[in-house]
Amino acid sequence: MSQSEPKPASDVKLDLACFELDGVCCAVDVSLVREISRCPPHAPLPHAPALIEGVVELHGSVLPLLDLGRVLGRAPVGDLTHARLAVLQADELLFALRIGPSVDVISVALDAVEALPALATQAGYEVVRAVVRRAGAAPLLVLSLEAVLERVYRSAHGVSEAA
């Protein structure tokens, strides 16, 4: 195959940082992850938008802290002593996302990535950008960080929405 010919979709890979929340496997594109570390203590922010837990200091930077469970409309991440912090970048913004202790990076074929079913997107659920089919396992949910940030903005204005 010459260099000018496109690769078949099965040869094109997408690298995903994966983590689990109460048995649900979620992922984000690795290119959006700046760091994954232990969770440092956070300081609550008085009168902050509902989805902002507070702020954390990491390597001299102060970052807003979100909790994956709360962002997805579920219970907050439990077991804070083993939780991890994913520093993510979306829309030119850096923020910290508290995730569970189980983190892995996988490479998936692009043809295994599918859009979220139409009913979910038409109902206004946009936090999950895509799903990855996995043989013998539940689909992996690929998060849209832009939609996560949109939820934070909406929580600042008191707009409620179902997860």
Domain assignment present for residue 5? The answer is no
Query: Is residue 6 assigned to a domain?
Result: no
Residue 1 lies in a domain: no
pLDDT of residue 20: 87
Could you tell me if residue 9 is inside a domain?
no
Per DSSP, 30 falls in state: G
Residue 10 located in a structural domain: no
- What's the whole-number mean pLDDT along residues 35-48? 92
Q: What is the pLDDT of residue 163?
A: 44
List the CATH number of the domain containing 40: 2.40.50.180
Domain range for residue 146? 15-156
Q: Which two structure tokens, joined as six digits, stand for 83?
A: 């939780």
Q: Considering its fold, how many domains does the chain have in total?
A: 1
Q: In the structure, what pLDDT confidence band is assigned to residue 14 with cuts at 50, 70 and 90?
A: very high
Return the closest-CA partner of residue 97 out of 124, 79, 120, 72.
72
Residue 155 has a pLDDT of 82
Residue 143 falls inside a structural domain: yes
Q: Using the predicted structure, report yes or no on whether residue 65 has a pLDDT greater than 90.
A: yes
pLDDT digits (tens, 9 = 90+) for 107-136: 999 999 999 888 877 666 788 999 998 888
Is the predicted pLDDT of residue 78 greater than 90, yes or no?
Answer: no
Residue 41 lies in a domain: yes
Please, which pLDDT band fits residue 22 given cuts at 50, 70 and 90? confident
Q: How many CA atoms lie within 13 A of 2 on its CB side?
A: 2
Whole-prediction pTM value? 0.83
Band (154; pLDDT cuts 50, 70, 90): confident
Residue 110 lies in a domain: yes
126 in the Ramachandran plot: left (φ > 0), alpha (ψ -120 to 50) or beta? alpha
Nearest-angstrom CA–CA distance, 97 and 106: 19
